[in-house]
């Protein structure tokens, strides 16, 4: 009797061992989170972007943690290749300091909310990239890069009548020699006589 029960139990264990484990259902795809104000994808806390120009490469590190709207907006232009064939077309000089300005031409997305430096904790220091604007809430496809500290462009400074300044969202980590070269280009007023063409812009993974 005991032997028969043992054989029955052994057979049951053997049958169980031959069965395949139940397959787990694949996880549901994770949809990107969206910024409620604009519907743009929430950006990474930090992300690097290479801007290839006719003068050389400029590499940016963007601060999506502290300036999510401005970073997401810039990445929208990068990821959809709207910066490709854009230009660095303007320079403002203050001795050896100043800033250069670039855009995506006439290819634009809707404007984004303003992120003042008093909110982000960022500042227009040497190499800072910022979103240009007219009135608050008009920033879209115009961007500047500082040469030297230009903190008067921060909120509370003298650059804008509303005292809200411009929105910094990252800084140059490579290629400041290219930025300085563009700043020193020959000008017609504030416009570069020969604009510097952006051949491509892409994330660095």
Mean pLDDT over 75-88 rounds to 97
- Percent of the chain at pLDDT exceeding 90: 82
Whether 16 shows a pLDDT value over 50: the answer reads no
- Give the chain's mean pLDDT: 90
14 three-state secondary structure: helix
Mean pLDDT over 174-183 rounds to 98
Kindly list the distances between the CA atom of residue 121 and the CA atoms of 118, 124, 166, 191, in Å, as whole numbers in the listed order.
6, 10, 12, 31
Read off the pLDDT of residues 83-132 as tens digits, 9 standing for 90 and up. 999 999 999 999 999 999 999 999 999 999 999 999 999 999 999 999 99
Q: What pLDDT sits at residue 15? A: 42
Q: What pLDDT sits at residue 205? A: 85
The class of domain 46-204 in CATH terms is mainly beta
Q: What's the pTM?
A: 0.84
Between CA 149 and CA 12 the distance in angstroms is 78
Mean pLDDT over 8-31 rounds to 54
| Main-chain dihedrals φ then ψ at residue 30, nearest 5 degrees | -85, 120
Whether 12 shows a pLDDT value over 80: the answer reads no
Mean pLDDT over 43-72 rounds to 98
Position with higher pLDDT, 51 vs 21 = 51
Q: What pLDDT sits at residue 39? A: 93
Q: What pLDDT sits at residue 7? A: 40
- List the domain boundaries for the chain: 46-204
168: left (phi over 0), alpha (psi -120 to 50) or beta: beta
């Amino acid at each position: 009797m005991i032997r028969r029960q043992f054989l029955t139990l052994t057979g049951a264990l053997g049958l169980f061992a031959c069965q395949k484990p139940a397959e787990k259902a694949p996880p549901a795809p994770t949809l990107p989170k969206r910024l409620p104000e604009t519907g743009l994808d929430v950006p990474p806390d930090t992300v690097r972007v290479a801007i290839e120009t006719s003068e050389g490469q400029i590499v940016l590190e963007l601060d999506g943690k502290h300036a999510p709207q401005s970073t997401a907006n810039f990445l929208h232009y990068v990821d959809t290749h709207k910066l490709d064939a854009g230009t660095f077309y303007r320079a403002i000089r203050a001795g050896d300091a100043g800033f250069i300005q670039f855009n995506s031409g006439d290819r634009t997305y809707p404007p984004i909310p303003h992120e003042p430096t008093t909110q982000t904790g960022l500042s227009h220091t040497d190499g800072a990239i910022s979103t240009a604007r007219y009135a608050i809430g008009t920033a879209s496809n115009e961007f500047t890069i500082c040469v030297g500290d230009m903190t008067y462009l921060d909120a509370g400074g003298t650059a804008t009548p509303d005292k809200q300044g411009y929105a910094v969202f990252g800084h140059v980590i490579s290629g400041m020699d290219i930025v300085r070269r563009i700043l020193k280009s020959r000008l017609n007023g504030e416009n570069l006589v020969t604009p510097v063409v952006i051949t491509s812009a892409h994330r660095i993974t």
